[in-house]
Amino acid sequence: MTDLHTITLVVNGRRHTLAVEARRTLADTIRDGCGLTGTHIGCEHGVCGACTVLVDGEPMRACLMFAVQADGSAITTVEGLGSRAALHPLQRAFMANHALQCGFCTPGFLMLAAGVLAKEPDIDDDALREALSSNLCRCTGYAAIFKAVRAAADAMAKKKVR
Amino acid sequence: MARARTPQIGGRFERIEDPPLVTGRGRFAADISFPHQLHVRIVRSAHAHGIIRAIDKAAALAHPGVFALWTADDIPEVPPIDFREGRIERLEAYRQPVLARGRVRYVGEPIAAVFADDAYVAEDAAELVMVDIEELPPILDACDPPGEWEPGRSTEPGVLTQGYGDMDEALAAADQVIELDLQIGRHSGVPMETRGAIARYDAATDTLELYGAAKIPHRNRDALARTFGRAPSSVQLYEGHTGGGFGIRGELYPEDLLVSAAAMRFERPVKWIEDRHEHLMTANQSRQQRHRAKIAVKADGTILGIDDEFFHDQGAYPRTHAMRVVDMTLGILPGPYRVPAYRVAGHYRLTNKTPAATYRSPGRYESSFVRERLVDAVADRLGLDRLAVRRKNLISAAEMPYLRPLIVLGEDAEFDSGDYHGLLDRALEHIGWDALQADLRRRREAGEAVGAGIAIFVEKSGAGPADGARVSVDSTGAVEVVTGGASIGQGFETAMAQICADALGVDYKRVRVVHGQTDRIAYGIGAHASRATVMTGNATHIAALAVRRKALEVAAELLQAPIEALDVVDGEVVRTDRPAGGSIALGAIAASLHPNAKTLGAREPGLAADGWHRTEHLACPYGIHIAVVGVDRETGAVTVEKFLIAYDVGRAVNPMMVEGQIVGGFMQGLGGALYEEFVYDERGQPQSVTFADYLMPTMSEAPEIEIILREDCPSPRNPLGIKGAGEAGINSVGAVIASAIDVAIGMPGAVTQLPVSPQRLKAIFDRGR
Ligand code: FES
Ligand code: FES
């Protein structure tokens, strides 16, 4: 019925060659095609940010992109951010600061923050708040998320200095 | 030195549920798939009210990849959705069919279901289903006189009343009677995870399995069993991770019944994942009420009585909660004040909007708005201080326990314990109330529109009647707590692990907590109405103590020591009377209790025990909200400068999690106070069906919030002294923001409707001119 396109995605360092319809979103492809369900879908409208992943280092809303547009790209999802044995400073900070309750928005916030901090490691509070305002969380009331990202940014900065 | 145990209750411990969630290893509904599964897409009504004349299925059925298509006629055996409590006579005829039969009553109502191999294909095919509907005029205002629901049946299935004292006499004796017309907007929980249901029928064992369950899996198991005429033991529900509950997630909806019926009929797994657009027009909405409330007072501000009539906009059908929100509103409205006479009537009315049910702090967010607006009005009208009127009427600590002749969720409205004045003083001192007032006055004189408000509330939690838990230790010393509770993101597992660990004498990280699995435990209360920590927590405590007792008995024998000289410390039984002298690990004790172990003797095998907590009383936490707001007179925008929440939780199992609940609840309350509203146009078309129209607060709207968490009055109604925490943050946010805005704009009593959107505020300014 619909034409399939063969694409290659490098997700968390692993190559996936997939045949997808042109209309299939990157979010669905990561979840169903690559079997990585940590990337969540909260609105499919580009508003909530639950689906945020890094595409060639840039935080992107995977529900707004078609998989074919990401052909050849390197993608990092929450599964590739850190492992249970070696958590990323952001993951540590989210736990330590109680920045998650149900955890549904968490992968999106983690990836958004990872992208923001990679580009602007010494981002100030106002700019950070502004950047994090693009994702929605319904459980935490945000205060703890802000605190966690701030703490992670500081921890990452300290590590670099040493 | 003998080893001492580390307390496991009361610490700001990291949560045991976090590691999988921060690494993308959670298992939410959409993450569950089975081989050979079908995807279902629901065809929904595009009209608010109408008669279904014809449904043309042909084009959809011909679409490649489509497996089946159902309308109401295809599932005559599936009855309408039951109430939680089972049969309710007067609502019976109003129940929602799983697929519309003959008539549609709200935009989004399920009409047909398309089953296909792929979710995209199911969606394509659903668009090919042609539904011919003859439109009828919709009923959109619950305050209009009741209309016809169907021939011979009114849109008002019932009016609930409660009351006590002599209201007429109170009105006659009053120096002042103040009447207000108050409205609370339609908003809801809107969890970040949409709903989802995956059903599987295992023909080999004749078992129906439902995944994506939440909140009350055991009750829903029983309801599904009743619905399909099956033995409850042949229906199993499984709760995975849940992306937010807030009262609305986890109730049985049409889609849950549909996938279940289809899985049995087709003998294939059937998966349904809701999209956000569907969610915003079909998941339970809440709150919308209009009150015409009178308060009778003496000239000194003493309350003589409250007389209230209100209209509850239920939407198109009663859902699983039946009339619960109206009932709650009646039972709790007088709140923390002495109200000698009370009369209330709640009209439960059906309209052509999305059906409504409970949302975090149901009936309390609404009634607190009404009560606190009334009290503000008393002060304003009599020229008294708003705070002084509150102080005068607050129930005192000496009056506890305070029994009010009302019924709340089937239980007596008895406030178990509390020191409302004490908490109020603490809150005022913390925020520096007098200096704050002086400062705000100065700023107002300089032209700013700023003001502070205060609201006081009593919550209810821990309604019974009973819940159980089973605690067991295996031969490696790992501990498992099996509960019938539910985890909806609130930290249930960590709380139970802490309670169990504390009673047993292990580190809480050694404890694994099972929740929401109907095949692991026969009964379960779930997670609703701030019950989980109180009920399941106390059951866990009791079970863990029994396990500890058993371990000590066995250890006393194995170590040849008097039982009084033994304690469990970090998972080992040790002697407390001397520094050394043998110890034995809980795992070894468990091994010695294996059915095959020689050491078992006449004992029951296994290091395990059940615990039950029973109660007929509520545990009633209470709190104070103080808000400082600024208003932009040009745009009508409201900024919350500061927000203080003082709350007595009785005993905090994990203060970090309690504070998390409070801040999160507050933010939802703020949404309902200023931004969130489900709006319908004059034809009943929902206008708030994307996140661009239904505005939830983001980090930019998050004000600085301070919390005073107290444990002054532990509940005497349960062994741990716990009171619920889930609804503390949200309860009075609407009330207190309204109060503060009044002051800021210098128009006492101006705010009578939530949310206070910029448009509404500008209308208030215009009226004031
Ligand atoms: S799912 Fe992509 S932004 Fe909401
Ligand atoms: S933690 Fe639940 S939505 Fe953010």
Range of the domain at A146: 89-159
Contacts of A45 in chain B (CB under 8 A): 276, 690-692
Q: What is the pLDDT at residue B488?
A: 84
> How many whole angstroms separate alpha carbon A73 and alpha carbon A69?
9
Contacts of A83 in chain B (CB under 8 A): 23
Q: What is the pLDDT at residue A37?
A: 98
Q: What is the pLDDT at residue B489?
A: 84
Q: What is the pLDDT at residue A161?
A: 61
> How many whole angstroms separate alpha carbon A5 and alpha carbon A18?
8
Query: In which band, very low, low, confident or very high, does the pLDDT at A84 lie, cut at 50, 70 and 90?
Result: confident
Write out the E strands in B484-543: 511-514
Same structural domain for residues A71 and A104?
Answer: no
Any chain B CB within 8 A of the CB of A76?
no
Q: How far away, in angstroms, is B561 Cα from ligand 1 center?
A: 62
Ligand nearest the Cα of residue A62 is 1
Question: Do residues B715 and B416 make contact, with C-beta atoms less than 8 angstroms apart?
Answer: yes
B755-768 pLDDT per residue, tens: 999 999 999 998 87
Give me the phi and psi of B560, to 5 degrees please: 55, 55
Contacts of A103 in chain B (CB under 8 A): 17-18, 21-22, 26, 241, 243, 489
> How many whole angstroms separate alpha carbon B423 and alpha carbon B582?
49
- Check pLDDT > 90 for residue B615: no
> How many whole angstroms separate alpha carbon A131 and alpha carbon A119?
12
Q: Which of B82-91, B268-277, B332-341, B719-728 has the lowest mean pLDDT?
A: B82-91
Mean pLDDT calculated for residue range B144-157? 95
Report the sign of the C-alpha dihedral through residues B480, B482, B486, B490, in that order.
negative
Q: Is A104 in the pocket of ligand 1 (CB under 6 A)?
A: no
The answer to whether B24 contacts A144, with C-beta atoms less than 8 Å apart, is: no
> How many whole angstroms separate alpha carbon B330 and alpha carbon B342?
10
Query: In which band, very low, low, confident or very high, does the pLDDT at B531 lie, cut at 50, 70 and 90?
Result: confident
Query: In which band, very low, low, confident or very high, does the pLDDT at B580 lie, cut at 50, 70 and 90?
Result: confident
Final residue in a domain of this structure, among A20, A49, A79: A79
Final residue in a domain of this structure, among A42, A57, A79: A79
Candidates B13, B28, B5, B24; CA nearest to B496 is: B13
Q: Scanning every residue of chain A, which has its alpha carbon at the shortest distance from the alpha carbon of B730? A: A141
One-letter amino acid at B619 equals: A
Q: How far away, in angstroms, is B156 Cα from ligand 1 center?
A: 40
- Check pLDDT > 70 for residue B603: yes
Q: What is the pLDDT at residue B730?
A: 97
- Check pLDDT > 70 for residue B2: no
**For residue A131, is it within any domain?**
yes
Query: In which band, very low, low, confident or very high, does the pLDDT at A124 lie, cut at 50, 70 and 90?
Result: very high
Any chain B CB within 8 A of the CB of A13?
no
Query: In which band, very low, low, confident or very high, does the pLDDT at B410 lie, cut at 50, 70 and 90?
Result: confident
- Check pLDDT > 60 for residue A162: no
CB within 8 Å of B706: residues ≥ 6 apart: B430, B431, B642, B643, B644, B645
**For residue A153, is it within any domain?**
yes
Question: Which of B192, B241, B705 lies closest to A105 in CB terms?
Answer: B192
Question: Do residues A87 and A114 make contact, with C-beta atoms less than 8 angstroms apart?
Answer: no
- Check pLDDT > 70 for residue B244: yes
- Check pLDDT > 90 for residue B408: no
The alpha carbon of residue B33 is apart from the nearest alpha carbon of chain A, in Å, by: 10
Contacts of B17 in chain A (CB under 8 A): 103
Q: Scanning every residue of chain A, which has its alpha carbon at the shortest distance from the alpha carbon of B279? A: A43
Could you tell me how many helices (H) and strands (E) chain B has, helices first?
A: 18, 30
Same structural domain for residues A14 and A73?
Answer: yes
- Check pLDDT > 60 for residue B12: yes
Give Cα B517 to chain centroid, integer Å.
20
Any chain B CB within 8 A of the CB of A14?
no
Q: What is the pLDDT at residue B458?
A: 96
> How many whole angstroms separate alpha carbon B148 and alpha carbon B373?
34
Pocket test residue of B17, B21, B190, B192 for ligand 2, highest count of atoms within 8 A of CB: B192
Question: Do residues B593 and B606 make contact, with C-beta atoms less than 8 angstroms apart?
Answer: yes
- Please count the other Cβ atoms lying within 10 Å of the Cβ belonging to residue B401: 13
pLDDT above 90 coverage of chain A, percent: 93
Is B289-462+617-768 in the same CATH topology as B18-24+465-614?
yes
Query: In which band, very low, low, confident or very high, does the pLDDT at B533 lie, cut at 50, 70 and 90?
Result: confident
What is the H or E stretch that residue B332 is in?
Answer: helix B324-332
DSSP classification of residue B301: -
B206-217 pLDDT per residue, tens: 999 999 998 999
Candidates B120, B79, B126, B119; CA nearest to B99 is: B79
CB within 8 Å of B267: residues ≥ 6 apart: B201, B203
Mean pLDDT calculated for residue range B706-720? 94
Compute the radius of gyration of chain A from its Cα atoms.
Answer: 16
Same structural domain for residues A16 and A71?
Answer: yes
- CATH no. for residue A24? 3.10.20.30
CB within 8 Å of B115: residues ≥ 6 apart: B38, B39, B40, B66, B67, B68, B69, B70, B122, B262, B266, B270
| Per-window interface: A 38-67 vs B, CB < 8 A | 38-45, 47-48, 50
- Please count the other Cβ atoms lying within 10 Å of the Cβ belonging to residue B76: 8
The two beta strands, B341-350 and B511-514, are unpaired
- Check pLDDT > 60 for residue B301: yes
**C-alpha distances in Å from residue B553, one per residue of B28, B547, B558, B600:** 42, 10, 9, 12
Which residue intervals of B96-253 are DSSP H helices? 119-126, 167-173, 217-228
Domain limits of chain B?
A: 18-24+465-614, 32-137+194-242+249-282, 289-462+617-768
- Check pLDDT > 60 for residue A1: no
- Check pLDDT > 60 for residue B739: yes
**C-alpha distances in Å from residue B515, one per residue of A53, B519, B545, B608:** 31, 10, 20, 17
Interface A–B counts its CB contacts (< 8 A) at 176
- ipTM higher than threshold 0.90: yes
CATH of domain B289-462+617-768: 3.30.365.10
Candidates B767, B765, B729, B548; CA nearest to B643 is: B729
Q: How far away, in angstroms, is B663 Cα from ligand 1 center?
A: 24
What is the H or E stretch that residue B226 is in?
Answer: helix B217-228
SS3 B493: helix
Same structural domain for residues A99 and A137?
Answer: yes
Looking at the structure of chain A, the number of domains it has is 2
Query: Can you read off the two tokens belonging to residue B194?
Result: 């949409």
Q: Scanning every residue of chain A, which has its alpha carbon at the shortest distance from the alpha carbon of B700? A: A133
> How many whole angstroms separate alpha carbon A50 and alpha carbon A134?
10
**C-alpha distances in Å from residue B676, one per residue of A147, B287, B756, B757:** 26, 11, 10, 9
Q: What is the pLDDT at residue B529?
A: 60
- CATH no. for residue A138? 1.10.150.120
* Range among A45-49, B89-93, B533-537 with highest mean pLDDT value: A45-49
Mean pLDDT calculated for residue range B593-620? 93
> How many whole angstroms separate alpha carbon A3 and alpha carbon A21?
6
Q: How far away, in angstroms, is A60 Cα from ligand 1 center?
A: 10
Query: Can you read off the two tokens belonging to residue B566?
Result: 């033994």
Q: What is the pLDDT at residue B412?
A: 87
Same structural domain for residues A94 and A75?
Answer: no
Q: What is the pLDDT at residue B101?
A: 95
- Please count the other Cβ atoms lying within 10 Å of the Cβ belonging to residue B369: 32
B488-520 pLDDT per residue, tens: 888 999 999 999 999 999 999 999 999 999 999
In sequence order, the β-bridge partners of residue B517 are B238
- Check pLDDT > 60 for residue B446: yes
CATH top class, domain B18-24+465-614: alpha beta
The answer to whether A104 contacts B700, with C-beta atoms less than 8 Å apart, is: no
Mean pLDDT calculated for residue range B186-205? 98
Burial of B548-561, coded b for 16+ CB within 10 Å and e otherwise, reads bebbbebbbeebeb
- Check pLDDT > 80 for residue B111: yes
Query: In which band, very low, low, confident or very high, does the pLDDT at B191 lie, cut at 50, 70 and 90?
Result: very high
Q: What is the pLDDT at residue B204?
A: 97
Q: Scanning every residue of chain B, which has its alpha carbon at the shortest distance from the alpha carbon of A99? A: B660
- Taking the alpha carbons at both ends of chain B, their separation in whole angstroms is 78
Final residue in a domain of this structure, among A38, A58, A79: A79
> How many whole angstroms separate alpha carbon B742 and alpha carbon B386?
12
Report the sign of the C-alpha dihedral through residues B256, B261, B267, B272, in that order.
negative
Question: Do residues B423 and B624 make contact, with C-beta atoms less than 8 angstroms apart?
Answer: yes
Same structural domain for residues A54 and A106?
Answer: no
**For residue A84, is it within any domain?**
no
Any chain A CB within 8 A of the CB of B489?
yes
Q: May I ask the CATH architecture of the domain B32-137+194-242+249-282?
A: Alpha-Beta Complex (3.90)
Same structural domain for residues A93 and A74?
Answer: no
B19-65 pLDDT per residue, tens: 999 999 999 999 999 999 999 999 999 999 999 999 999 999 999 99
Compute the radius of gyration of chain B from its Cα atoms.
Answer: 28
